[in-house]
Amino acid sequence: MLDTRPDTLPARPGVGFKPQHFDAIMADPGPVAWLEVHAENYMGDGGRPLAQLRALAERFPISVHGVGLSIGGEGPLDADHLARLKHLVGWLNPTSFSEHLAWSTHDTHFLNDLLPLPYTEATLTRVAAHIDQLQETIGRRMLLENPSTYLAFAESDMPETDFLAEIARRTGCGLLLDLNNVFVSATNQQTDPVAYIDAFPMAEVGEIHLGGHDEQQDDHGAPLLIDSHGAEVVDPVWALYAHTLHRAGPRPTLIEWDTDVPDWPVLAAEAGRAAALSTPVDA
Amino acid sequence: MVRQGEFTQALLDPSAAVPPGLTGPDGRPAGKRFAVYRNNVAVSLTKALETGFPVVRKLVGDDFFTAMAGVFLRSHPPRSPRLTLYGETFPAFLEGFGPAQRLVYLPDVARLEMALRESYHAADSDPIAPDALAALPPEALMGARLHLAPALRLIRSRWPVFGIWRANTAAAAPKPAAGPEDVLVVRPGYDPVPLPLPPGGGGFVAALMHGRPLGEAVAAAEEECQDFNLSAVLQILLDHAALVDVTGEDAP
């Protein structure tokens, strides 16, 4: 069968797919034009998860978002996991594949969190080599996502935006700009999120993420935001989105909601808000 | 320079010091900021275990489960990013977990819950026609091999593990009867279902799982139960899409 699917996501809203929304999405996706799934949830041999994914892929462009490869790990990439990613990308042929600038595995321990990296030449070399290996394995360009961070490394000697731009230059990968992560990190690191966006290599951005976060305080009473994906997108992040659109034009934009997942209409309404912002009012 | 091994060790050991070289925006030690990562690891893995072992959790209570999960995840972190199967070693861990020793059946309940999860993600298969066995010539039947669905799982327990599972998942379920139970997990569509097997059924299915021909499986069942009712067990398998092929004596 001729595959006529486009090779980029539409510059419209998508949402992170949750199985409890399957029937609602198939009945009426509303403003949602594409779906993102976490790769690691679709690595079984069969059953409902793969059946739902096959059905969704017949109607929607799919973005496969890996959350467990540990691209920033000091050790080699997990060969078994690479093989599973290759298999998934092979049979599904998704429109996009993305992963994180983070590490999550040490030796054989998978820690199930996106852990931070120092921004140094040594980290650049290692991350670039892992991305080369991944892109060769799955036979396509990937998007690399900027992280939420809660602390800094004294050894870091370059800004995150320079680090990401250099990774994209060395590997040819694209970037996934998570604006909630920008806001969370900028608040936590006491830097300016708008300056971050203005420094971001926007030409490489193939996808934008929006999501919710929690608020805490650090030991000294400074705000400490936690990337929870468990709430609505806050107004300052919508403002960053509007600023980004002004700079970059419409981009495929995902609403992420992974914990305390709401009923479908709430999620669809968030996607609708993103759609409204990316439609020029003077058009 | 902060190495990831040092970072990992401090993540998994709440009493360990935060690695030096990690700071807040003002250059002060990371403190609570590091605790965010520590908390993310413990909470997300505890959540995975809660999702995977709801009946174990109900049996021990929420607070006990959280504490027990904390001990388990630090001594048995996942060995793969595929968290859908995290907890394979939880039943064996429970065998040796002192504070839960009074609940002697707990490891087998965990085995049943793990089997349900494995079944959920197992390969799809098409069942044989309901009359496929009847179509075999009688003299060929005992030499035939019955091939089981990939989503089939068998739990053989000294305890009434099905009764315990049902009493904790279904409203108004009867109290579990005493005595051992063999439980078959079947998946006729996409939802795994545990079924108690009649006496001898566990030995029978175990033999089929080992690829033994029907006659040998019947003999294994009769060793466990002289009155083994073959047709009753075959009916259970046929009714739940558990048989995917029948091959003759000479076929592998």
Statement to judge: residues B128 and B228 lie in one domain: yes
Q: Do both B90 and B185 map to the same domain? A: no
Q: Which amino acid is at B24?
A: G
Q: Looking at CA atoms only, how far is residue B86 from chain A in angstroms?
A: 10
Per DSSP, B22 falls in state E
Give the model's confidence band at B2: pLDDT under 50 very low, under 70 low, under 90 confident, else very high.
confident
Cβ of B78 and A110 within 8 Å? yes
CA distance A66 to A43: 11
| Cβ-Cβ contacts under 8 Å, B28 against chain A | 220
Co-location of B15 and B130 in the same domain: no
Enter the tokens of residue A274: 């993103």
Q: What is the pLDDT of residues A78-130, one digit of tens each?
A: 999 999 999 999 999 999 999 999 999 999 999 999 999 999 999 999 999 99
Judged by CB atoms closer than 8 Å, whether chains meet at B77 and A111 is answered as yes
Domain boundary pick from B51, B72, B103: B103
Provide the b/e sequence for B193-206 (b: ≥16 CB within 10 Å): ebbbbbbbbbbbbb
What kind of fold does domain A13-278 have according to CATH? TIM Barrel (3.20.20)
Chain B residue with CA closest to A41: the answer is: B84
Q: Which of A105, A113, A188 sits opposite B41 (nearest CB)?
A: A113
Residues 68-107 of A with CB under 8 A from B: 68-70, 73-74, 78, 80-81, 84, 103-107
**B90 belongs to a structural domain:** yes
Do the domain assignments include residue B115? Answer: no
Gap from A94 CA to chain B (nearest CA, Å): 19
Q: What average pLDDT does the structure give for chain A?
A: 95
Number of domains forming the structure of chain B: 2
Helix segments in A93-231, DSSP class H: 121-138, 160-171, 179-189, 193-199
**Same domain flag for B99 and B128:** no
Same domain, B138 and B245: yes
Report if residue B223 sits inside a domain: yes
Does B212 lie in the same domain as B96?
Answer: no
Same domain, B142 and B28: no
Read off φ and ψ for residue B211, nearest 5 degrees: 80, 15
**What's the distance, Cα to Cα, between the start and end of chain B in Å?**
58
Q: Are B191 and B71 within one domain?
A: no
For position A283, what pLDDT does the model report? Answer: 41
- Based on the fold, state whether residues B45 and B5 are members of the same structural domain: yes
Q: Which of residues 182-241 of A touch B (CB under 8 A)?
A: 188-191, 216, 218-220, 222, 224, 226
Closest CA to A13 of A209, A181, A180, A147: A209
Q: Going by DSSP bridges, is the β-strand pair B181-186/B193-196 parallel, antiparallel, or unpaired? A: antiparallel
Instruction: In whole angstroms, give the CA distance from residue A245 to residue A280.
Output: 10
Say yes or no: B5 and B81 in one domain: yes
Does residue B201 lie within any of the structural domains? yes
- Choose the closest CB to A111 out of B8, B21, B48: B8
Q: What is the pLDDT of residue A2?
A: 47
In chain B, which residues have their Cβ closer than 8 Å to the Cβ of A151? 22-24, 30, 33-34
The pLDDT value given to residue B94: 98
Contact across the interface for A106 and B4, Cβ inside 8 Å: yes
Which domain covers residue B129, as residue numbers?
Answer: 124-252
The CA R_g of chain A, rounded to the nearest whole Å, is 18
Asked if residue B248 and residue B136 are part of one domain, the reply reads yes
Same domain, B74 and B182: no
ipTM confidence score? 0.93
**Does residue B114 belong to any structural domain of this protein?**
no
Beta bridge partners of B12: none
Interface touch A110/B79, C-beta < 8 Å: yes
Please say whether the beta carbons of B97 and B68 come within 8 A.
yes
Give me the phi and psi of A223, to 5 degrees please: -60, 140
Per-residue pLDDT, A280: 60
Residue A6: pLDDT band (50, 70, 90) is low
- Domain membership of residue B248 (yes or no) is yes
Summarize the confidence of residues B204-223 as an average pLDDT: 97
Domain boundaries, chain A: 13-278
Query: In chain B, which residue ranges form alpha helices assigned H by DSSP?
Result: 4-12, 32-52, 54-60, 62-75, 90-95, 106-121, 138-141, 161-167, 201-209, 214-224, 230-239
pLDDT at B218 over 50: yes
Residue B168: both structure tokens together: 């904790």
